[in-house]
Amino acid sequence: MNAVFVELNQLLNFNNAINQSNEQKSENIMLDKGLFLEEVDHYLEKYPNTQHIDIYLYDLNGHLRGKRIDVKCLTQLVKACYLPLSIYAMSLNGNVIEETGLGKFIGEPDHLCQPILGSLQPCAIEPETNAQLLLTMKDAHYQDCLIEPRNILKKILKQLHERNYRPCIAAEIEFYLQPLNGIEKAEETTTQCFDIHLSDTHQQILDEIEAIAKLQNIMITGIISEASSGQYELNLQHTCDLLKLCDQIMLLKRTIKQIAHKHGFRANFLAKPDLLKAGSGMHFHMSLLDQDQNNIFSSWEDELSQDLLKVISGLLWLMPISMAILAPNLNSFRRFKKGHHVPLEASWGLNNRNVAIRIPCSDQENQRLEYRVAGADCNPYLSIAMILIGTLYGLTHQLEVPKQNNQLTFKSKHYLLPIEQMEALKLFKNNKILAEYLGKEFMELWCTVKQAEHQSVHSQITSIEKSWDI
């Protein structure tokens, strides 16, 4: 199966997204047991040799945390299962950060977790026998646990829906394929930007990723060779079901990693895996539909729509304080250097890849914005949540629309982005605007975990320091 190497279509078709929006229903507080059992029956009819199911949550960093169960136990999940709340206090190294108060101090209590309907999918490795299922956690009162990133996005999305706005988003995910033995072939060390003639090995990996994605009902609309050798971008279909979009991003990342490893490669989603090469981002294209499924970013005049400008103003206003989420670790900030089309300030412009918010080429009916700040290492649930918060803020407040990037002068207002993690966390920690949407408990948890991660790196003496002759 040949991978299609095309850029995301400039003229986007929203018909599928609108249909999904019409069919989309809010998730019940507790699982619909009948629908879940029906889903299990249909799945096992298609994959009768299934033996194991990986059941899991995503932690703050988007890492899978869960366990593998026997297929005979699958139907028992209608009664839910239990996993520890401390999953949401784990660092990148998988350690529970005790300063959060969610670990040993309170006995690492379990919370009820239930399956996400529609998330039962085959695994990338031996899909005929291995499946995977996403869970969501409830709090002590059986309501959504609001330190779970997925539930945070769900809450903010509901606020937009209550105002009759339906954001429609597509994602672009960048990553590197790197040999596990650390040795690159000579033909793979040159630039490959938009190249459609790849090495046989890379082509085979990408073809297999595309094939497994189809089994998992993930629509990849484009596969692109990026600027640096071994770097690729996958484009996902526009949708108004943003929870499902994020579920699919995370599922696809796991699939990419598993397929790459199977072929002797590492799929690297670090924001800056090599200081001499381009960083990897996760870009989001967004339009905004009204209650009649019309794109309110569209304008039949020569100028951009007022609603689009309002959203841009809100996104830019909150962008510096959002950086703690969009760039979630120390390596994330290595990406924010001059060159390689990475924004260093909250800026926007038409058909310009150097800005934070780009208005791509399109006809007026399909007008959209591209949010270009988040790294490939971001948690998509939280990154889209930050985009939606900026959208809401711009639509509900009278803000000045900054000048386009090409209109700025030296004396113009420049909204610089923090380029160091601790600076970003300081801006984020006590921000009252974000607290209204994210909740103080989550913000304190995020800062505590991220400060601990940052300190764990700086508490190690580097080989360069050890070599100093002082």
The two tokens of residue 292 are 């009649």
* 356: nearest Cα among 342, 340, 367: 342
The two tokens of residue 242 are 């943003």
3-state secondary structure of 324: helix
Q: What is the mean pLDDT of residues 408-430?
A: 87
Beta carbons of 254 and 33 less than 8 angstroms apart: no
Hey, how many other C-beta atoms are within 10 angstroms of the C-beta on 340? 16
Alpha helices in 163-199 (DSSP H): none
* 358: nearest Cα among 406, 290, 396: 406
CA distance 226 to 273: 14
pTM of the model: 0.91
Q: What is the mean pLDDT of residues 349-377?
A: 92
User: Which pLDDT band holds residue 137 (cuts at 50, 70, 90)?
Assistant: very high
Give the position of tokens 């459609």. 196
| Amino acid letter for position 204 | Q
Q: Of 185-199, 277-291, 398-412, which has the strongest mean pLDDT?
A: 277-291
- β partners of residue 153: none
| Amino acid letter for position 311 | V
CA distance 290 to 304: 17
Beta carbons of 308 and 390 less than 8 angstroms apart: no
Instruction: Say what the pLDDT of residue 466 is.
Output: 87
Q: What is the mean pLDDT of residues 201-207?
A: 93
Task: Find the helix or strand (DSSP H, E) in which 43 lies.
Answer: helix 33-46
For residues 186 and 118, which has the higher predicted lDDT (pLDDT)?
Answer: 118
Residue 351 CA from chain centroid, whole number: 23
Instruction: Say what the pLDDT of residue 469 is.
Output: 87
Q: For the chain, list the domains and their CATH numbers.
A: 30-143 (3.10.20.70), 154-461 (3.30.590.10)
The two tokens of residue 386 are 């930050």
User: Which pLDDT band holds residue 458 (cuts at 50, 70, 90)?
Assistant: confident
**CA quadruple 385, 386, 387, 393: dihedral positive or negative?**
positive
The two tokens of residue 342 are 């990475």
| Amino acid letter for position 87 | I
Contacts of 326 (CB under 8 A, 6+ apart): 332, 373, 374, 375, 378, 383, 386
CA distance 219 to 102: 38
The two tokens of residue 57 are 């949550």
User: Which pLDDT band holds residue 303 (cuts at 50, 70, 90)?
Assistant: confident
Contacts of 130 (CB under 8 A, 6+ apart): 50, 51, 52, 53, 54, 122, 123
The pLDDT tens digits for 22-41 are 434 444 456 789 999 999 99
For residues 428 and 194, which has the higher predicted lDDT (pLDDT)?
Answer: 428
What percentage of the chain reaches a pLDDT higher than 90?
74
The two tokens of residue 397 are 């407040």
The alpha-carbon radius of gyration of the chain (Å, integer) is 22
Instruction: Say what the pLDDT of residue 195 is.
Output: 57
3-state secondary structure of 368: coil
CA distance 80 to 64: 18
Is the confidence at residue 91, as pLDDT, over 80?
A: yes
Please return the burial class of 33, using the count of CB atoms within 10 Å of its CB with bins 0-12, 13-18 and 19+.
Answer: middle
User: Which pLDDT band holds residue 97 (cuts at 50, 70, 90)?
Assistant: very high
Largest CA distance in the chain: 71
Contacts of 433 (CB under 8 A, 6+ apart): 318, 321, 389, 393
The two tokens of residue 139 are 């709090």
Mean pLDDT of the chain: 89
Please return the burial class of 161, using the count of CB atoms within 10 Å of its CB with bins 0-12, 13-18 and 19+.
Answer: middle
**CA quadruple 319, 324, 329, 330: dihedral positive or negative?**
positive
Q: What is the mean pLDDT of residues 87-103?
A: 95
Contacts of 426 (CB under 8 A, 6+ apart): none
User: Which pLDDT band holds residue 14 (cuts at 50, 70, 90)?
Assistant: very low
DSSP secondary structure letters along 226-262:
-SSTTEEEEEE--BS-HHHHHHHHHHHHHHHHHHHHH
The two tokens of residue 163 are 């105002």
Beta carbons of 85 and 109 less than 8 angstroms apart: yes
Beta carbons of 24 and 241 less than 8 angstroms apart: yes
3-state secondary structure of 217: coil
Contacts of 248 (CB under 8 A, 6+ apart): 216, 218, 236
